[in-house]
């Protein structure tokens, strides 16, 4: 039982990374926005979570999703970014390698799959989609109320506080 786990890394692994219900919900959310032709960026913190979500999306939506990670060549990341901006790709999963310095003005939806509590990291991730364009004046932020363990409840509270401080709730 997750409530019996005391080490944060294990709580995160079972409550976030390997949480089948949560990953399935992410895939279903992606499916709904994909049908609406909206661009979606899913942020993860752990490579395993990105792989699991990619597999779940392939099963639920029927598409292969690029997974941008730090060990990927810069040229490949740039190609994926260009395709996402031009909407040739609708869905991308990314690690912290896309947290800073990546501007995607056409982005419609940001899914905060990786949880966490850092205000700076939350703001940087959301900043990928907050740019207004002539075709877009809002971004949809999807986050989760992670209530399976005290550690995750606290992190959810920190993120909600960040959203509230910026009038995003």
Among residues 111, 149, 112, 145, the alpha carbon closest in space to that of 14 is found at 149
* Domain map (residue ranges) of the chain: 2-165
pLDDT higher than threshold 80 for residue 91 = yes
Which two three-digit tokens encode residue 77? Answer: 């990341």
Residue 93 vs residues 49, 100, 141, 165, 169: alpha-carbon distances, Å: 10, 15, 15, 27, 24
- pLDDT value at position 142? 92
- The phi, psi pair for 68, rounded to 5°, reads -85, 125
Segment 49-68 shows an average pLDDT of 98
Among residues 154, 87, 165, 89, the alpha carbon closest in space to that of 126 is found at 165
Residue in the block written with tokens 């959301």: 126
pLDDT higher than threshold 80 for residue 127 = no
Segment 30-52 shows an average pLDDT of 96
Q: What is the CATH number of domain 2-165?
A: 3.40.50.300
Which two three-digit tokens encode residue 149? Answer: 């363990």
% of the chain at pLDDT higher than 70: 86
HSE of 55, CA atoms in CB hemisphere, 13 A = 8
**Mean predicted lDDT score pLDDT of the chain:** 87
**pTM of the predicted model, to two decimals?**
0.86
Residue in the block written with tokens 């509230």: 164
- pLDDT value at position 43? 92
Confidence class for position 78, pLDDT limits 50, 70, 90: very high
């Amino acid at each position: 039982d997750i409530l019996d786990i005391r080490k944060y890394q294990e709580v995160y692994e079972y409550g976030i990374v390997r949480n089948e219900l949560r990953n399935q919900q992410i895939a279903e959310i992606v499916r709904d926005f994909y049908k609406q032709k909206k661009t979606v960026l899913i942020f993860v913190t752990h490579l395993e979570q990105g792989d699991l979500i990619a597999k779940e999306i392939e099963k639920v939506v029927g598409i292969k999703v690029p997974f941008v990670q730090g060990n990927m060549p810069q040229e490949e990341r740039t190609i994926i970014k260009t395709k996402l901006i031009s909407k040739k790709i609708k869905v991308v999963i990314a690690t912290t390698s896309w947290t800073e310095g990546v501007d995607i003005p056409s982005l419609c939806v940001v899914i905060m799959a990786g949880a966490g509590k850092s205000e700076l990291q939350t703001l940087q991730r959301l900043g990928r989609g907050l740019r207004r364009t002539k075709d877009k004046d809002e971004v949809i932020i999807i986050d989760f109320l992670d209530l399976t363990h005290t550690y995750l409840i606290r992190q959810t509270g920190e993120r909600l506080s960040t959203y509230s401080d910026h009038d995003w709730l």
